[in-house]
Structure 1
């Protein structure tokens, strides 16, 4: 008659590793039952916008007919003889415009538009990879939902 380990073709845990195995079982139990948050993926705060993106932002002179900058709400100064003000507006990829003196410090801290939260590219490779992962995950969930709806109406 064969014994249990021979029949299942496995090896018993050596006595020296039993304690570690017990701890692993306990951690697995706690994780599966919601007692332990093992989300080791670090949630990163948004890094600054890419230097290349910031340097290549379109800009234009502020005119007296322009609306106020939504960051500083400063009224437009008196224009010169051509109707142009000394201030510059930086134009973000989402088409929102802000004074250069207002938006550049913002983009040095975060990579998004202060109005619509449009995210620009960053120089942080880890953040960019995490952003791509979240986009792929959202796309997979959408595809699964679409598949489920097509099968079950």
Structure 2
């Protein structure tokens, strides 16, 4: 159980520290559907694993130099070794990245997000991207009118 809390950067309460009850109430409201994750602007859980089809189709490339290392295990790649390369162009040992993507959908180096099989999460990502695009469009419109 300690690994779970360490992974999230959480620890036990120190003397005099109390839980944030408003955060717990917000989580209950999201869990029971009173407030949707899209209204809060944040996904309330850890991101889901990458889509199985996407993981299966990650290409293998041959390393041409021995000065780079796997960002997960930090071992140097051997010249001529085959590594898995994500769309963001970061390479990993196959066993390292496959284990990682079985837990979450992002590159451990740059946080580039791969597709998932979770329809709710994909809808959330699309809605968040649309909201960011609307914000950029409004900023562009504002700047074009008042410059």
Q: Say yes or no: TM over 0.5.
A: yes
SS of the residue corresponding to residue 61 of structure 2 reads: strand
Which is higher, the Rg of structure 1 or of structure 2? 1
Pairwise CA RMSD: 2.4
**Is contact 1:50–1:120 with CA below 8 Å preserved after alignment?**
yes
Partner of 1:47: 48
Q: Name stretches of at least 5 consecutive residues in structure 2 with no aligned partner.
A: 1-24, 38-42
Which one is further off, 46-55 or 68-77? 68-77
Aligned-pair distance for 1:108?
A: 0.4
Provide TM-score, normalisation by structure 1: 0.63
> What are the within-5 Å matches in structure 2 for residues 4-153 of structure 1?
40-42=35-37, 43=43, 44-61=45-62, 65=66, 67-76=68-77, 84-85=80-81, 88-153=82-147
The two structures have a TM-score, normalised by structure 2, of 0.66
**Aligned residue pairs, count:** 111
Question: Where do 4+ consecutive residues of structure 1 move more than 4 Å?
Answer: 36-39, 61-64
Work out the CA distance in 1 between the residues paired with 2:65 and 2:129.
41
Give the secondary-structure state (helix, strand or coil) at the position aligned to 1:137: helix
Q: SS where residue 92 of structure 2 aligns?
A: strand
